[in-house]
């Protein structure tokens, strides 16, 4: 029985928006979601705004109120959410619970990020200081996982590269993606090395972007139509007491299993999935955590085309973080929008035929060999 559904979605293109403010980006996505749902601003009863870096970059920690007011929404609770890469999906988790608990009938989630800020000043590398700091730590951590995975299971750089090629192919079918030109395995392997064995094309790009969803009660959803049911929305943090496996994240499998139990389905019931592919090794490890393939077989699973459009279980049909782009606060919401779009059968050339159930997975932050946050949401029609 449905207790909350997504009834409206809105998203702008991911990429560089040098002439637009963060509030502009978020407001447009919010407006598009209202229009898609057929709701007026006055019908929204609570708002959640997700963002990762605005406090650090612009010194403003309460941007959500500005975004919502820009589309005519005021006098309601507005919550600003920061939770690393899961900021947007954490906001969805909060909205889902507010509606499921009967506190409100209509909740709006907006995720937005502005990461292209050249006015902060360029370093000698041609990057901003933010880009340089982001690029120092995260790739090294994931490169170590890739090295260990290849040593333990015999995976190859070519298999890792296949993930980039696949996601770029999907991205070419998504008009809102940042990078849409196809790439080859050879191009991925010959790209500049970021941290061995991860080349530039194996790492996700920074981006500006915004995405919004509206969550509503069953009564509202029935009246509006085109609703996609939220069967489970899970948020977990890591188990840091006894770190065991420095290759995988304990939160990953735990969050997925909890979501499957709440939704009453298993991985075999999924038709499509979006996962946190910040680096190619991430997507491969997430296949295994989601139960799409056995442990150690994720690289082969990708190389054999099982996760491509037309394969057994298409993953990251949007292009994923690797090609759609990764504006941190918007990413989790964008993943949800892709699943909703697929289940509405409105994905155009990238449509998964007959899609009825989908999963959106996101994670963020490293701590003690695990991750600080992991979200999994399951949807159906």
Q: Where are the domains of the chain?
A: 5-119+208-230, 126-202+234-380
**CATH hierarchy code of domain 126-202+234-380:** 3.40.47.10
240 in Cβ contact with 367 (< 8 Å): yes
Report, as residue numbers or ranges, the catalytic residues: 85
Nearest one of 214, 249, 264 to 378, comparing CA atoms:
264
- The whole-number pLDDT of residue 120 equals 66
Q: pLDDT tens for residues 335-364?
A: 999 999 999 999 999 999 999 999 999 999
Q: How confident is the model at residue 135 (pLDDT cuts 50, 70, 90)?
A: very low
Percent of the chain with pLDDT over 90: 85
365 in Cβ contact with 349 (< 8 Å): no
- What is the fold of 5-119+208-230? Peroxisomal Thiolase; Chain A, domain 1 (3.40.47)
Rounded Cα distance between 139 and 151, Å, is 18
Q: How confident is the model at residue 98 (pLDDT cuts 50, 70, 90)?
A: very high
Which residues are CB-contacts of 87 (< 8 A; sequence separation ≥ 6)?
50, 51, 52, 81, 111, 328, 329, 332, 364
Rounded Cα distance between 142 and 153, Å, is 16
Rounded Cα distance between 368 and 240, Å, is 6
Rounded Cα distance between 309 and 305, Å, is 8
Percent of the chain with pLDDT over 70: 93
Residue 124 pLDDT > 60? no
- The whole-number pLDDT of residue 341 equals 98
């Amino acid at each position: 029985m449905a207790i909350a559904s997504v009834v409206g979605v809105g998203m702008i293109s991911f990429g560089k928006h040098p002439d637009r403010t963060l509030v502009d980006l978020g407001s447009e996505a919010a407006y598009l979601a209202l229009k898609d749902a057929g709701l007026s601003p006055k019908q929204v009863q609570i708002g959640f705004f997700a963002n990762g870096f605005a406090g650090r970059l612009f010194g403003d920690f309460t941007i959500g109120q500005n975004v919502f007011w820009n589309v005519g929404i005021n006098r309601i609770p507005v919550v600003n959410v920061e939770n690393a890469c899961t900021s947007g999906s954490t906001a969805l988790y909060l909205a889902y619970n507010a509606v499921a608990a009967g506190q409100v009938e209509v909740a709006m989630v907006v995720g937005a990020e502005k990461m292209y800020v050249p006015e902060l000043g360029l370093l000698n590398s041609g990057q901003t200081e933010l880009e340089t700091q982001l690029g120092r730590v995260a790739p090294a951590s994931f490169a170590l996982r890739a090295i260990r995975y290849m040593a333990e299971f015999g995976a190859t750089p070519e298999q890792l590269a296949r993930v980039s090629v696949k996601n770029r192919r999907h991205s070419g079918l998504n008009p809102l993606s940042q990078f849409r030109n196809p790439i080859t395995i050879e191009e991925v392997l010959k790209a500049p090395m970021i941290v061995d064995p991860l080349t530039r094309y194996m790492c996700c790009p920074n981006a500006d972007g915004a995405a919004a969803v509206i969550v509503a009660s069953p009564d509202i959803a029935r009246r509006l139509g085109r609703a996609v049911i939220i069967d489970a929305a899970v948020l977990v943090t890591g188990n840091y007491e006894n770190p065991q496996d420095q290759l995988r994240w304990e939160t990953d499998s735990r969050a997925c299993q909890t979501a499957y139990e709440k939704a009453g389905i298993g991985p075999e019931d999924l038709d499509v999935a979006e996962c946190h592919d910040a680096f190619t090794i991430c997507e491969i490890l997430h296949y295994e955590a989601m139960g799409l393939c056995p442990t150690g077989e994720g690289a082969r699973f990708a190389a054999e085309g099982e996760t491509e459009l037309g394969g057994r279980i298409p993953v990251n049909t949007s292009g994923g973080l690797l090609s759609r782009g990764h504006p941190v606060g918007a990413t989790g919401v964008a993943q949800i929008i892709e699943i909703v779009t697929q289940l509405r059968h409105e994905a155009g050339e990238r449509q998964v035929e007959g899609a009825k159930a989908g999963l959106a997975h996101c994670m963020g932050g490293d701590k003690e060999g695990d991750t600080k946050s992991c979200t999994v949401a399951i949807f159906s029609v």
